[in-house]
Structure 1
Amino acid sequence: MALAVTSTSSSSPAPSTSFFSRLGSSSDAKALQIGSFRFPERPNLSSVIVNLTQRCSSVRPLNAQPQRNDSIVPLAATIVAPEVEKGEEDFLQIAKDLENASPLEIMDKALEKFGNDIAIAFSGAEDVALIEYAHLTGRPYRVFSLDTGRLNPETYRFFDAVEKHYGIHIEYMFPDSVEVQALVRTKGLFSFYEDGHQECCRVRKVRPLRRALKGLRAWITGQRKDQSPGTRSEVPVVQVDPVFEGLDGGIGSLVKWNPVANVNGLDIWNFLRTMDVPVNSLHSQGYVSIGCEPCTRPVLPGQHEREGRWWWEDAKAKECGLHKGNLKQEDTAQFDGNGATPSNSTATVADIFDSQNVVSLSRAGIENLAKLENRKESWLVVLYAPWCRFCQAMEESYVDLAEKLAGSGVKVAKFRADGEQKEYAKSELELGSFPTILLFPKHSSRPIKYPSEKRDVDSLMAFVNALQ
């Protein structure tokens, strides 16, 4: 995924900033082309919006960054942004204060508060309204989108029309080519029709999104309460993201803004027509909610818009994983307080932490490891459950860490500790909640439990290095 950095100041054009230092691990990802544009005159805007634009026109333009290199650290990490300390803000209170605010006011507040560290997630559907609201604030903003490789041709043409209309460059994050190749080779092109869409979405959408969000402190989505009664009926205008991690790492490090949460679909379309912005031509063919081509179809009159997405599955769980935090407890195998299913449950979901650098330990394997007093190598082991959203959130970091530690004398492993293994893990391995991370040092008979909720690569590496 790539994230568009755009400057919307009404003063002279300013250079924009690339958001990522590389576009995932795909070898054919192209270098980002950066551009800027002038805020065009809109003769029909109300005086309130004009005043708001004038007030924001003095925003400092983004500084151009050096040409990208092979570093895995997002360039966003090098940008000076407004200091928003983790836990400093009461976003529940902010959500209450903005509950009756207009989308324009919410958007302005989000861009003002997070500056360079916030971005709009653009799917190629009616959430082009988000870009229009950001444009109207007069503030600099960023736009990114996920290119799964399976979008409709109309969606790609729509992306191009939006870029030209607003004078921006959308950045795209692509899925890992090796992961896609492995999925297709082992399960075929359309396995999701038989075993559910979650695995395909995890490879093509969730993991690329996770890589992107690790370079941000906040993101902006087009979620609305009326989009999916089963999963989005209680979406607030702002929240601490319950699933993904941000730039600082750990739970609570990313804020999620939903400026149109309280707006119904009809009003969104009235707004788009009034402002005369580009729309996806698929909408005129009966498509309302638009995703990948194999998983999206038109809806009939009277059908809900989400019925066109993954139509072969249960209507209560129509989320791809990007907004999995919306799923209520009864819809997620009755999660307990740790985001976990009951101890006797073994949910049939795709496994995680799949990497040649991560050793999968059996019960006998981890028992033998725990008994060794003089190990030849240290072992880092995550106790996990594949359905746990916090385990899923740290998957990318853990796999990256395993790659970094390959050949270093530290083995990286995983042990699935849910279901019938949970009692053993709780009594013998200090499992409190998922995920629990243990280091088995070379010359110690007892494992050392990782004490922090920060699960980014640097924090985990510091833990390992401190005990070697």
Structure 2
Amino acid sequence: MAMAVSSSSSSGITSSAFSRSAISSDHKVSQIGSLRLLDRVHVTPMTLNLSSGKRSFVKPLNAEPKTKESMIPNAATTAMVAEIAEEVDHHVIEIEDFEQLANKLENASPLEIMDKALEKSGNDIAIAFSGAEDVALIEYAHLTGRPYRVFSLDTGRLNPETYRFFDAVEKHYGIRIEYMFPDSVEVQGLVRNKGLFSFYEDGHQECCRVRKVRPLRRALKGLKAWITGQRKDQSPGTRSEIPVVQVDPVFEGLDGGVGSLVKWNPVANVEGNDVWNFLRTMDVPVNTLHAAGYVSIGCEPCTRAVLPGQHEREGRWWWEDAKAKECGLHKGNIKDDASKGSVNGESKSAVAEIFTSENLVTLSRQGIENLMKLENRKEPWIVVLYAPWCPFCQAMEASYDELSDKLAGSGIKVAKFRADGDQKEFAKQELQLGSFPTILVFPKNSSRPIKYPSEKRDVDSLTSFLNLVR
């Protein structure tokens, strides 16, 4: 993600995206209400010693004056202090209620939300650009006619196509994207200690923290607000409740402290297909990786194309469970499991059941243990290990139900086993569960199940595998 100033702007803004020049005394006066000025409200009135040029404070009213030269504050000083105090109080009263603003803008268009974001924060807001559909945000900002800034995180491991896309976007809009880079010492330490691909073994969080989260934190410390391309339909497990505007729950902004940064999500309520219709209509540059099946695009080692029937986020960190499909940039989306009655990291709140065909067998823990003990089965079984909240399981529901209907009466049993919550450790140790969904085939005359290795979960692919191993 990187910061840029629109060249079409008439504002004349040329400052770096994340640097701020020294504030002049005139500018300080305009910032009445800042906590830095509160001391001016409570300063004891001063006198001026004309002979020495030094200031001395008037003693408290209950003390005897030291000399007759002591002066009470003049009318101008009193008026100034009163005016500052009034403006400070006025500023406190006008703190924005962003929850109320989010409700007000819930049905607004992305263009209207973008316009409101740029209007409120001026030069202290920037668009976070990832090199995927976030180009829609830049187009919306361009359409408002307001000056805008764009930043991007260059992790050092992006696809070549993404870098070419960055260049095309800069030329199309006449802007300069400000790139934030990871700390070279931190990257060097990570690679030397754990290798280039340690995330395949122990998860992506550490690498993302070094290459993305910390550079983002530095970037946001120079802003009062940022604009993201999050959508509710991108990741049902973590993004289904994001508002169009919120106080950022994770990062700090320019003024520091909790509540110092505002986060805008103009396309939160827009579906992915509608975003793409907008991009095609406006004829803007897009990443060529999209044409190769990439939907959600991140770093090259952690992103791949998705197959028909797969959710778009399944192409990110595919070796991990759906619960972990955030890199840390939007960590605030992940709910506190302790407050949701979760078990082993999965929420046990009400979730609609999936795989509901009447031809499917629902296996209990005892049932699948009995199936594993059978050395001479009369018929082969295919079993999906699933979690109903998992978007990738939800994506294959239609094809798996169709498979069960197709194989009804064929001598092949189609079953499901819910392997989250209390059953997850058992499924990992005994059933080869790596991530959801995991598909197992229990052949005839064999005690060992065979794990389906492919992510092609359409009916034909599953049927073909069954015919080869049953």
TM-score interval (norm. to shorter)? 0.5 to 0.7
- 1:8 corresponds to which letter in structure 2? S
Answering whether residue 167 of structure 2 is matched by residue 160 of structure 1, we say yes
Matched residue SS, 1:75: coil
Please state how far the C-alpha of 1:328 moved relative to its aligned partner: 1.1
Map 1:55-454 to 2 at 5 A.
74-75=19-20, 88-330=95-337, 334=338
Inter-partner Cα distance in structure 2 for 1:15 and 1:112: 15
Partner of 1:447: none
Q: How many Å apart are 1:5 and its aligned residue? A: 2.3
Q: Displacement of 1:335 after TM fit? A: 6.8
Computing the radius of gyration from Cα coordinates, the structure with the larger value is 2
Aligned to 1:3: 3
TM-aligned CA distance change 1:76 to 1:308, over 3 Å? farther
Residue deviations 1:409-447, cap 9 Å, x none? xxxxxxxxxxxxxxxxxxxxxxxxxxxxxxxxxxxxxxx
Q: String of CA shifts for 1:220-243, please: whole Å, max 9, x gaps.
A: 000000000000000100000000
CA distance in 2, matches of 1:314, 1:281: 27
Residue 95 of structure 1 contacts residue 236 of structure 1 at CA under 8 Å; is this kept in 2? Answer: yes
SS at match of 1:3: coil
Q: Deviations over 1:11-47 (max 9, x none)?
A: 5x83522123xxxxxxxxxxxxxxxxxxxxxxxxxxx
When residues 328 and 291 of structure 1 are mapped into structure 2, their CA distance, relative to the original with a 3 A threshold, is: same
Equivalent position amino acid for 2:20 in 1? L
SS for the counterpart of 1:267 is helix
Seen in structure 2, the aligned counterparts of structure 1 residues 111 and 189 have a Cα distance that, compared at 3 Å, is same
* Secondary structure of the structure 1 residue equivalent to 2:313: helix
The one-letter code sitting in structure 1 at the alignment partner of 2:314 is E
Residues 238 and 287 of structure 1: CA distance in aligned 2, closer, same or farther (over 3 Å): same
TM-score, scaled relative to structure 1: 0.57
Query: Which runs of structure 1 show a deviation greater than 4 angstroms over 4 or more consecutive aligned residues?
Result: 76-87
Selected match of 2:16 from 15, 18, 24: 18
CA distance in structure 1 between the partners assigned to 2:284 and 2:268 by the alignment: 20
Give me the whole-angstrom Cα distance separating, in 1, the residues matched to 2:2 and 2:284. Answer: 22
- Check whether the contact 2:2–2:128 (CA below 8 A) recurs between aligned residues: no
In 2: Cα distance, 1:2 partner to 1:234 partner: 26
Q: CA RMSD in A?
A: 2.4
Give 2:424's aligned residue: none
1:221-271 deviations in Å (ceiling 9; x for gaps): 000000000000001000000000001111100000000000000000000
Letter in 2 for 1:187: K
- Could you list the per-position Cα deviations for residues 333-383 of structure 1 after superposition, in whole angstroms to 9, with x for gaps in the alignment? x379xxxx9xxxxxxxxxxxxxxxxxxxxxxxxxxxxxxxxxxxxxxxxxx
Q: 1:77 to 1:235 in 2, by over 3 A?
A: farther
Q: Name stretches of at least 5 consecutive residues in structure 2 with no aligned partner.
A: 35-90, 345-470
Structure 1 residues 281 and 77: alpha-carbon distance in aligned structure 2, compared to 1, 3 A threshold = farther
The letter for the 1-side match of 2:4 is A
Matches of 1:151 and 1:245 in 2, distance apart? Answer: 26
- Give secondary structure in 1 for the equivalent of 2:5: strand
Deviation at 1:75, TM superposition (A): 2.0
Rounded to whole Å, the distance in 2 between the matches of 1:320 and 1:217 is 22
Instruction: Sort the Cα spacing of 1:183 and 1:230 in 2 relative to 1 into closer, same or farther, 3 A.
Output: same
Task: Look up the equivalent residue of 1:227 and give its one-letter code.
Answer: Q
Deviation at 1:78, TM superposition (A): 5.1
- Which ranges of structure 1 fall in alignment gaps of 5 or more residues? 21-73, 342-468
Alpha-carbon distance, 1:3 to partner: 1.8
Deviation track 1:78-135 (CA, whole Å, cap 9, x = no partner) reads: 5979999688100000000000000000000000000010000000001100000000
Change (3 A) 1:293 1:215: same
- Residue 8 of structure 1, CA deviation: 3.4
Counterpart for residue 365 of structure 1: none
Mapped contact 1:76–1:216 kept (Cα < 8 A): no
Any conservation in 1 of the 2:226–2:263 contact (CA below 8 Å)? Answer: yes
Structure 1 residues 322 and 128: CA distance shift in structure 2, 3 A: same
Cα 1:137–1:223 shift into 2, 3 Å: same
Q: Is 1:19–1:76's contact at 8 Å kept on the other side of the alignment?
A: no
Kept in 1: contact 2:129–2:135 (CA 8 A):
yes
Change (3 A) 1:103 1:237: same
- Percent of pairs with identical residues: 83
Letter paired with 1:327 = I
1:231/1:317 contact within 8 Å kept: no
**For the residues of structure 2 that align with 1:219 and 1:284, how far apart are their CA atoms?**
29
In structure 2, the CA distance between the partners of 1:208 and 1:201, relative to structure 1 (3 Å rule), is same
Query: Conserved in 2, the CA contact under 8 Å of 1:230 and 1:317?
Result: no
Distance 1:116 1:305, change over 3 A: same
Q: TM-score, normalised by structure 2?
A: 0.57
Q: In 1, distance between residues paired with 2:214 and 2:297?
A: 20
Post-superposition offset of 1:170? 0.3
How far apart, CA to CA, are the structure 2 residues paired with 1:186 and 1:224? 36
One-letter amino acid of the counterpart of residue 154, structure 2: D
- List per-residue Cα deviations over 1:145-204 (Å, max 9, x = no partner): 000000000000000000000000001000000000000000000000000000000000
Code of the aligned partner of 2:201: E
